[in-house]
Copies of this chain bind each other. A is one copy, B any other.
Amino acid sequence: MHPRRELTVELGDRSYPIYIGEGLLDDAGELFAQRGISKKSPLMIITDENVAERHLEKLQTVLVAAGFDVSTAIIKPGESSKSLAVLESLVTKALDAGLDRKSTIVALGGGVVGDLAGFVAASYMRGLKFVQVPTTILAHDSSVGGKVAVNHPLAKNIIGAFHQPELVLYDLNTLQTLPKREISAGLSEVVKHGLIWDPAFVQWCDENAERLTSLDADALGYALFMGCSVKAEVVSKDERENDLRAILNLGHTIGHALEAVAGYKELLHGEAISIGMVGAARLAVKLGASEDVYTVTKRVLSQVGLPVRLPEHLDTDAIMEAMMHDKKFAEGTMVFIVPIEIGKVEINKSVSAALIREIVEQLKQEAV
């Protein structure tokens, strides 16, 4: 077996390990078997066309050689595949392949594949086992915490479940084929995990930005390990998002609104929340935090290749409107995650819409 970093997401009897390392796809057979994945019942790998072309054959070959009964389903890449229609087509494939209650769904891909395949696993026969094999940097985030979902034409991630995987297998080699823009977008959530929890890790990102964007395996392995660890710790303390887990939404209130208004094409998720995190940092300073919070946040995000200025043509009214519809405004209260210092956030439940509008306007003027 290849050397690997390892951590456990602690969730009582739903705890599971995350393995991170180069070449781990080779070890999939052994690691799956160790975690009790059935070789008798058919297993289905769900992936998208881009990932299938580059990494499916490897995983499939390894699993077949290890004695698993493997079928595959390949979806179109992109957010639009996270739909009930695609879910239904995957259930058709699962039925055709004879998946039964002891079968396993394997998600090979980024967050889109993970969220969609995860919801198939959560709902097919009311729940199958599930394995995440993330192939994007962003997916270090989506593969921890058990949130799975599809979109509705009117709202993202609105139909879903909490469904924890049996294991997460992160082969750093698969990341080598990522397009440049996806690398930066993924690092956005890595930086976020530092910003909400760990000042030393933010400093490390600041100093190692260049190694990260060039996919240096050792730096990347460390960063993903740290990102997963922070998320795992938060999720362990609050699996069902009652309170603490909300801090993971740093940058997301503005970010989701930007994605919605820009139409999910112009801005990648990681790019949108990068701008959102700069906005949150600006807000923090306005509410009394040190200027540093803003300077450091913006610098680190820029250095990993992310946008920090809000595209001017996006309409402020539309952005504000989108925020009002965001599901984080439970019972009408306006909630913002505010970074009061680097590595530490606060949940502020009384931010006025007027102040946010001001921030949105300023984000359009941000120097780059």
Contacts and interface: CB of A to CB of B under 8 A. Distances in A.
Nearest to A122: B161
A38 B158 CA distance: 20
Contacts of A162: 126-127
Contacts of A91: 152, 158-159
Nearest to A120: B159
A225 interface: no
A95 interface: yes
Nearest to A159: B123
Chief secondary structure at chain A's binding surface: mixed
A154 B92 contact: yes
Interface string A324-339: 0001011100000000
- Which of A88, A153, A329 gathers the greatest number of chain B CB atoms within 10 Å? A88
A95 B154 contact: yes
Given A127-B162, A161-B127, A330 B100 contact: yes
B330 A152 contact: no
A311 interface: no
Contacts of A127: 161-162, 240
A289 interface: no
Nearest to A100: B330
- Which of A102, A125, A160 gathers the greatest number of chain B CB atoms within 10 Å? A125
Interface string A36-69: 0010110000000000000000000000000000
A101 B327 contact: yes
Determine how many copies of this chain the complex contains: 2
Given A123-B161, A161-B127, A152 B95 contact: yes
A85 B331 CA distance: 28
Contacts of A85: 84
A161 B158 contact: no
Contacts of A123: 123, 159-161
Contacts of A31: none
A331 B40 CA distance: 7
A147 interface: yes
Contacts of A154: 92, 95
A330 B149 contact: no
A329 B124 contact: no
B160 A331 contact: no
B161 A100 contact: no
Given A95-B152, A149-B126, A330 B102 contact: yes
A87 interface: yes
A152 B95 CA distance: 10
Contact of A158 (B124, B155, B240, B327): B124
12 contacts: A41-B330, A84-B85, A88-B152, A95-B152, A95-B154, A102-B331, A123-B159, A123-B160, A124-B158, A125-B158, A125-B160, A125-B327
Given A124-B159, A125-B160, 18 more contacts: A41-B330, A41-B331, A84-B87, A84-B88, A88-B152, A95-B152, A95-B154, A100-B330, A100-B331, A101-B327, A101-B330, A122-B161, A123-B160, A126-B147, A126-B149, A126-B161, A126-B162, A127-B161
